[in-house]
Chains A and B, each alone.
Chain A
Amino acid sequence: MIRAAAAAVALCALAAAPLWIPGGYYLNILSQILIYAIFALGLNLLVGYAGLVSLGHAGLFGVACYAVAWLVAAGAGQLVAALGALAVLLATTAAFAVLSLRSAGIGFLMITLAIGQILWGMAYRWIDLTGGDNGINLAARPQPFGISLAFATPFYYFTLIVFLVALASVAVFIASPLGASLKGTRDQPRRMSALGYNVWLIRFLAFLFSGLWSGVAGLLFCYYNQFVSPNVLSLGSSAEALLMVISGGSGTLLGPIAGAALVVVMKNVASAYIERWNFLLGAIFVAIVLFMPEGLVPGSARLGRRLWLRLRGVPAAGGAR
Chain B
Amino acid sequence: MNQWLLLGVNSITLGGLLFLLSAGFSLIFGLMRIPNLTHGSFFMLGAYIGVSFLGLGLGFWAAALLAAAAMAVIGGGIERLLLRRLAGQELAQVLVTLGLSFMIADLCLMIWGGDPISLDTPAGLSGAVPIASIVFPAYRLAIVVIAVVIAVALWLMLERTRLGAMIRAGVDDAPMARVVGIRVSRLFTLIFCLGAGIAGFAGVMGGPILSVYPGLDADMLPLALIIVILGGTGSLLGALLGSIVVGFLYNFGQVLFPEIAYIILFLPMLLILLFRPQGLFGRHAP
Contact = CB atoms under 8 A, between A and B. Distances in A.
Contacts of A276: 106, 110
Interface in B216-262: 218, 222, 225-226, 229, 258-262
B35 A282 contact: no
Contacts of A107: 277, 285-286
Interface in B67-89: 82, 85-86
Chain A, interface size category, equals: 35 or more
Contacts of A102: 273-274, 277
A285 B286 contact: no
A124 interface: yes
Contacts of B94: 106, 109
A278 B269 CA distance: 29
B35 A110 contact: yes
Contact of A103 (B96, B218, B286): B286
Contacts of B103: 278-279, 282-283, 286
Given A106-B34, A276-B110, A289-B86, A125 B262 contact: yes
A267 to B, nearest CB: 13
Contact of B222 (A117, A246, A286): A117
A152 interface: no
Contact of B102 (A103, A114, A118, A282): A282
Nearest to B90: A106
Contact of A279 (B102, B261, B266, B286): B102
A77 B228 CA distance: 45
B25 to A, nearest CB: 12
A246 B94 CA distance: 14
A243 B77 CA distance: 24
Nearest to A243: B99
Contact of B263 (A122, A235, A289): A122
Interface string A103-141: 101110111011101100110111110000000000000
Contacts, number: 119
Main secondary structure of the interface of A (DSSP, over half): helix
B100 interface: yes
B9 to A, nearest CB: 24
B270 A110 contact: no
B259 A109 contact: no
Contact of A114 (B91, B106, B266): B266
B105 interface: yes
Given A122-B263, A279-B106, A286 B258 contact: no
Nearest to A278: B106
A239 B106 CA distance: 15
B135 interface: no
Interface in A122-167: 122, 124-128
Contacts of A109: 35, 91, 94
Interface secondary structure of B, over-half rule: helix
Given A109-B91, A110-B286, A99 B270 contact: yes
Given A107-B277, A117-B266, A290 B260 contact: no
A290 B84 CA distance: 11
A117 B92 CA distance: 21
Q: Which of A110, A122, A235 has the most CB of B within 10 A?
A: A110
Contacts of A18: none
A111 B107 CA distance: 28
A64 interface: no
B177 interface: no
B39 interface: no
A127 B286 contact: no
A92 B247 CA distance: 29
Nearest to B221: A235
A48 to B, nearest CB: 13
A128 B270 contact: no
B216 to A, nearest CB: 14
A114 B225 contact: yes
Interface in B270-286: 270, 273-274, 277, 285-286
A278 B95 contact: no
A321 to B, nearest CB: 14
Contact of A106 (B110, B259, B286): B286
B167 to A, nearest CB: 20
Nearest to A47: B91
B98 interface: yes
Nearest to B228: A110
B33 interface: yes
Given A111-B273, A125-B262, A285 B99 contact: yes
Interface in A221-256: 234-236, 239, 242, 246
B10 interface: no
A40 to B, nearest CB: 16
26 contacts: A99-B273, A102-B277, A103-B277, A105-B90, A107-B277, A107-B285, A107-B286, A109-B35, A110-B35, A113-B225, A114-B229, A114-B266, A121-B262, A242-B95, A278-B102, A278-B105, A279-B102, A281-B99, A282-B98, A282-B102, A283-B99, A286-B99, A289-B95, A290-B82, A290-B85, A290-B86
5 smallest beta-carbon distances between A and B, as pairs: A121-B262, A282-B102, A285-B99, A282-B103, A279-B106
Interface of B: 33-35, 82, 85-86, 90-92, 94-96, 98-107, 110, 218, 222, 225-226, 229, 258-263, 265-266, 269-270, 273-274, 277, 285-286
